[in-house]
Structure 1
């Protein structure tokens, strides 16, 4: 019996490995969208506003050679002030910003400084979110790491907004342009161990629903660190290699063969989940409550990082993005519910036009930082948008910092 099971598992792993070799690191587009290259914005005018979604940039090169940051610089030059850059969390690997004098502090400062210097010339809005690594990988003292990083950004790049402030859950409303609203959530707050700002766990969802209801006439982007759909490791998808060498999920060079026994770790993370996985009870509860609200409001965009790849899902009339390839890449499985996936460094850009159209674009760098040919784009909002007149509002509507 055991020999038969071992033979079946070996056969399955060999088939999976063969399949993965033929599609890994190649862009996947769902058959229904295979004609994407035939469609492009037909407007001569520049977008009303653009958003660059850069997730997990915490391992950028610090010597000026980083290809993603070079590509982002080109995006900034093209966009000028009519845009917003959103860092979707995990801004410093591996454990956020340690205290001065602690191991890892110097390396963390180098990486964070390289990132802030790349953002400094931009004339548009700069918004940073936090991820689990910024909270010391979710450990009980993570709140200290978060506050330290937030203060460091405020000191070294005052033009940037670290949202939600002070580690609170949000949501925070940001009016980016006429008819375009950004709502920022601190998804790590729901899964964090140890100290965190006090709040009723359900109240942020009530506030989110109120904001969505009051702004139905606007195009809305909701940003958080954790994805709500994913074909990658945090969504329970693993490679055949990770079944044989399970420790490579923790460290890429940990090639300790544990055949058969090694399949227990991927199975555990798929069904039970580590704290950062979609299957974990805290993550699962947050995701369920958040989707319960978002699914009531079609046509919105939810943008996240966390998984180190580019993914796009269309679910119940809305659009769900994973743009976590700012400094690392990792396996992403094709197919399933995904419209598009690619295991490649880069970021998504959202281009909002005055006639109501919204276009999703892929920005992926060549090794020298130049932009590679586009591998996917899609119109998300067809337009035109019929909206009531908006009351004039400041670009950023940020609540006062909590004590």
Structure 2
């Protein structure tokens, strides 16, 4: 048999194996897509009741709400309004970026300005009814999808918030990398990072790229007595697209990753795009060198401070990971949904609109709740450990905490 024949049959065998793998993946995905996945260790979550009484503070983590409906029917805005009414003033809403799709807030003369303003106004109106605090972060779409003129778009959006919702905090200000801290209540600190700063191309505020991580480490060390929530737009763990996870359909119809209706079949060749996104990465992917460096440096800090919660958006689904003692959330399902792979390192994932609520009862009693529109709004909850466990005789520990709060 000639070399040409061997090559032909080898390629044919490879193509057959790829087709079998895609068919198997497709069959598996059909079984679990859009269904909540809970790791076996947490299958009894529904039998674990919440503590009695109201939490001392609640935090809603809502990412990627930039495409909400503007006619008053948006399910996420309705769910958020319900959360606001139940929470009252003892709460904080954190928007995790991508507040306006598709490219942030354009200039007044831009043809997309009207739609962008309508969407943003619907969101700000809902936030304006809340009695508690509101914090907004920026994401890559708010920076004109990371294009070189993105800083201009970011500053325009920040100015719009200052004008129309002056009580809110847009952090970090002026597109700086941060970190910026906000004391939400006694014993609970929010730290905000502008993760887009590290992956943005073009002009941005001048800063030393390493210094924010040193400052974050100092902040965490100085606040070891508090519960700490760190918020940024980009996730540090993800079972979804930006983490290099793709559906079988996206291998055959790769352009659907850009537009969901772009059904141009490119079998075999189409697998090159998912592989590129997984190993090389577009600017918004974990595999991209700038994102990878930012993630590595940030994890190096956070892994030294177990029990800290890190919340992000970016991927359009709900995910929870517990890694090296820390808690990592992806809450980017504020207006869109996209594929998320079950299992792996994730304790919970769901391809569904919704957001996470963190309910802080006491220094050792924090609950993560997954809220989604529908007849059964809570689909998962988990008790999180967010401070080192007290000693058996906790009276000295409690006295020490009280003294720290008084300083």
State the distance in 1 between where 2:120 and 2:367 align.
30
Give the C-alpha shift of residue 372 in structure 1: 2.1
Give 1:389 shift: 2.9
Contact 2:225/2:404 (CA < 8 Å) preserved in 1? no
Structure 1 position 33 matched with structure 2 position 33: no
> What residue is the counterpart of 2:403 in the other structure?
389
Q: Tell me by how many angstroms 1:78 deviates.
A: 0.4
Match for residue 105 of structure 1 among 113, 122, 127: 113
Tell me how large the CA RMSD over aligned residues is: 1.3
Match of 1:271 in 2: 279
For normalisation by structure 2, the TM-score amounts to: 0.94
> Contact conserved, 1:136 with 1:142, CA < 8 A, in 2?
yes
Question: SS of 1:226's equivalent?
Answer: coil
Task: Report deviation, 1:374.
Answer: 2.0
1:89 pairs, out of 75, 97, 105, with 97
The aligned residue for residue 20 of structure 2 is 11
User: 1:205 and 1:9 mapped to 2: Cα distance?
Assistant: 43
Map Cα deviations across residues 205-260 of structure 1 (whole Å, 9 max, x no partner).
Answer: 00000000000000000000000000000000000000000000000000000000
- TM-score by length of structure 1 reads 0.94
The residue aligned with 1:400 is none
- Whole-angstrom distance in 2 between the partners of 1:57 and 1:277: 20
Distance (Å, rounded) in 2 between the aligned partners of 1:123 and 1:245: 46
Counterpart contact for 2:187–2:405, Cα < 8 Å: no
Tell whether 2:380 aligns with 1:376. yes
Q: Is the 8 A contact 2:187 2:363 kept in 1?
A: no
Aligned to 1:399: none
Counterpart mapping for 1:128-207 below 5 A:
128-207=136-215
Assess if the C-alpha contact under 8 Å between 1:178 and 1:390 holds in 2: no
Tell me which residue corresponds to 1:257: 265
Question: Is 1:217–1:388's contact at 8 Å kept on the other side of the alignment?
Answer: no
Max Rg structure: 2
Residues 219 and 355 of structure 1: CA distance in aligned 2, closer, same or farther (over 3 Å):
closer
Secondary structure of the residue that 1:353 maps to in structure 2?
strand
Between 1:318-327 and 1:373-382, the stretch displaced more is 373-382
In 2, the alpha carbon distance for the partners of 1:176 and 1:94 equals 31
Q: Secondary structure at the match of 2:334?
A: coil
The one of 322, 335, 342 aligned to 1:327: 335
- Secondary structure in 2 aligned to 1:86? strand
Structure 2 distance, partners of 1:275, 1:339, is 27
Name which of 118, 128, 132 aligns with 2:126: 118
Distance (whole Å) between structure 1 residues aligned to residue 362 and residue 321 of structure 2: 25
Structure 2 gaps, min length 5:
1-9, 391-396
Residues matched between the structures, number = 388
User: Whose helix fraction is larger, Structure 1's or Structure 2's?
Assistant: 2
How far off its partner does 1:92 sit? 0.2
SS at 1:306 equivalent: coil
Please tell me whether the aligned partners of residues 56 and 89 of structure 1 are also in contact (alpha carbons under 8 angstroms): yes
What is the Cα deviation at residue 375 of structure 1?
A: 1.5
Bigger RCO of structures 1 and 2 (CA < 8 A, at least 6 apart):
1
